């Protein structure tokens, strides 16, 4: 192998494979230029999913402080009526969720209570699998509910990548597809190519010329992807340079991920589904302080994201879904924490048709082995998003039997 070819492979392989795009595919996300949103504001609606990993304690998130039973089961972890962010006379948000409380006041927040699924599983892995695939049956689970949505071709082939995962680790099961390639990255700097390596246009073209019948498959892959990666890196870097240096986002990991999503949206990319996460909700011990910080991070990050999109004139086309794989037990444990439970609230934020509480709070006098009983299947929430927001028939993605909730105005 010639030295220039070897050096190019070393310099550009990471950039090409980083995108995790399948052989033979050059998505427009890499190849097409991003027009400024002010020049051509896209009309397609966008979904941003935030997964709260670890099992969020719903009772101390959407707090039934005025309902008999809360103070009985929560003593060390109890949050008083005087502290909560008021939603109704009996129910309020955690004190640290002032940003989301303001979204509620503005009619931009739906709180769906008592969400779960039949025969709940308290295993993190299994319950996440159920939520991410929208399948309760066991067996091979090849695609996620959003992956199937992407495979439904909500964005035409050749346009920008329809989905994008922002966060560390591997692609979430919820975004796993059969036909559509979804990039996954931690930060926008991953799109930059190293100028010290052989990543110039001339070097890329040299390698492209080497691709002849009988050449090795790796070179074919690089030929099809490297020019696009180079162009994407240059254009995204221009987008970063043209954006303001100052940021109104708090210095929080979730906020930075949402800020990146906002930049891509404002740049005019056609991506319609974004997926990110916030970890740390497995609060078995000393829950109060840890949970307070997590809910503050969620609320502050989401409110900054919404302000940013509002200023850019993009907020009306973006809905946010925040969910966790399960709630916690009704009774606190001896370690001032909570153990794995079942039903919990789900948040939908944006231009909702039904702000405030959706559904009744599960009853404290009708528990299932110490857990709240769900009354709303999470797939009914998904059906609302698919049918009434994304414009994708939910039956094709979820199967029959899941009617949408009145969260959005019907198209």
Q: Give 134-187 pLDDT, tens digit per residue.
A: 999 887 678 999 999 998 875 454 467 788 899 877 899 999 998 887 888 776
Q: What is the pTM for the complete model shown?
A: 0.82
pLDDT digits (tens, 9 = 90+) for 304-350: 999 999 999 999 999 999 999 999 999 999 999 999 999 999 999 99
251-307 tens-digit pLDDT: 999 999 999 999 989 988 888 999 999 999 999 999 999 999 999 999 999 999 999
Q: Is residue 316 part of a domain?
A: yes
CATH number, position 299: 3.40.720
Q: Is residue 202 part of a domain?
A: no
Other Cβ atoms less than 10 A from the Cβ of 23: the count is 10
Distances (CA, A) of 66 to 1, 25, 83, 229, 361: 74, 56, 12, 56, 11
Q: Which of 222, 239, 223, 206 is nearest to 34 (CA)?
A: 239
In a domain, 222, yes or no: no
**DSSP H helical ranges for 211-351:** 217-242, 253-266, 287-311
According to the model, what pLDDT value does residue 201 have?
46
pLDDT at 144: 96
Residue found under tokens 């997590």: 294
pLDDT at position 141: 76
Select from 114, 126, 153, 98 the least CA-distant residue to 295: 98
Q: Quick one: DSSP state of residue 18?
A: H
Does 204 score more than 80 pLDDT? Answer: no
- If you write DSSP's letter for every residue of 89-105 in order, what string do you get? SS-EE-TT-HHHHHHHH
Is residue 386 in a domain? yes
When divided into structural domains, the chain yields a total of: 1
Q: Establish if 9 belongs to a structural domain.
A: no
Residue 16 lies in a domain: no
Residue of 225, 154, 218, 157 lying closest to 191 (CA atoms): 225
Selection from 24-33, 111-120, 220-229 with the highest mean pLDDT: 111-120
Best CA proximity match to 106, nearest among 96, 98, 117, 115: 98
pLDDT for the residue 156: 52
Residue numbers of the domain that contains 173: 28-193+250-398
The answer to the question of residue 209 being in a domain is no
Residue 200 inside a domain? The answer is no
């Amino acid at each position: 192998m010639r030295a220039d070819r070897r050096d190019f492979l070393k310099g550009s392989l990471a950039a090409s494979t980083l995108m995790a795009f399948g052989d033979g595919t050059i998505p427009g996300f890499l190849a097409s230029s991003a027009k400024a949103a002010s020049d051509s504001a896209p009309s397609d609606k966008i979904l941003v999913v935030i997964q709260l990993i670890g099992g969020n304690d719903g009772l101390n998130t959407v707090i039934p402080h005025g309902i008999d039973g809360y103070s009985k089961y929560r003593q060390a972890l109890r949050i008083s009526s005087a502290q909560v962010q008021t939603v109704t006379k009996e129910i309020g948000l955690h004190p640290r969720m002032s940003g989301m409380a303001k979204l509620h006041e503005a009619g931009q927040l739906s709180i769906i209570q008592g969400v779960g699924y039949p025969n709940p599983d308290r295993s993190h892995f299994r319950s996440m699998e159920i939520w991410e695939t929208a399948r309760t049956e066991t067996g091979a689970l090849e695609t996620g509910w959003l992956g199937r949505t992407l495979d439904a071709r909500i964005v035409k082939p050749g346009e920008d990548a329809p989905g994008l995962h922002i966060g560390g680790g591997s692609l979430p099961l919820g975004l796993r597809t059969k036909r559509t390639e979804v990039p996954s990255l931690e930060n926008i700097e991953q799109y930059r190519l190293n100028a010290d390596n052989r990543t110039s246009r001339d070097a890329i073209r040299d390698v492209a010329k080497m691709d002849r019948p009988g050449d090795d498959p790796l070179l074919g892959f690089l030929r099809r992807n490297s020019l696009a990666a180079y162009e994407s890196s240059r254009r995204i870097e221009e987008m970063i340079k043209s954006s303001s240096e100052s940021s109104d986002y708090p210095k929080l990991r979730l906020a930075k991920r949402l800020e990146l999503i906002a930049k891509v949206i404002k740049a005019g990319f056609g991506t319609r589904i974004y997926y990110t996460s916030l970890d740390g909700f497995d609060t078995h011990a000393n829950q109060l302080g840890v949970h307070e910080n997590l809910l503050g991070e969620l609320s502050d990050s989401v409110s900054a994201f919404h302000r940013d999109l509002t200023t850019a004139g993009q907020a009306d086309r973006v809905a946010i879904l925040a969910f966790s794989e399960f709630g916690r037990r009704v009774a606190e444990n001896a370690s001032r924490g909570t153990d794995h439970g079942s039903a919990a609230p789900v948040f939908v934020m944006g231009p909702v048709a039904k702000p405030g509480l959706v559904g009744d709070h599960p009853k404290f006098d009708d528990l299932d082995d110490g857990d709240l009983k769900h009354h709303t299947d999470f797939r009914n929430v998904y059906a609302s998003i698919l049918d009434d927001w994304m414009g994708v028939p939910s039956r094709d993605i979820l199967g029959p039997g899941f009617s949408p909730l009145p969260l959005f105005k019907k198209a």
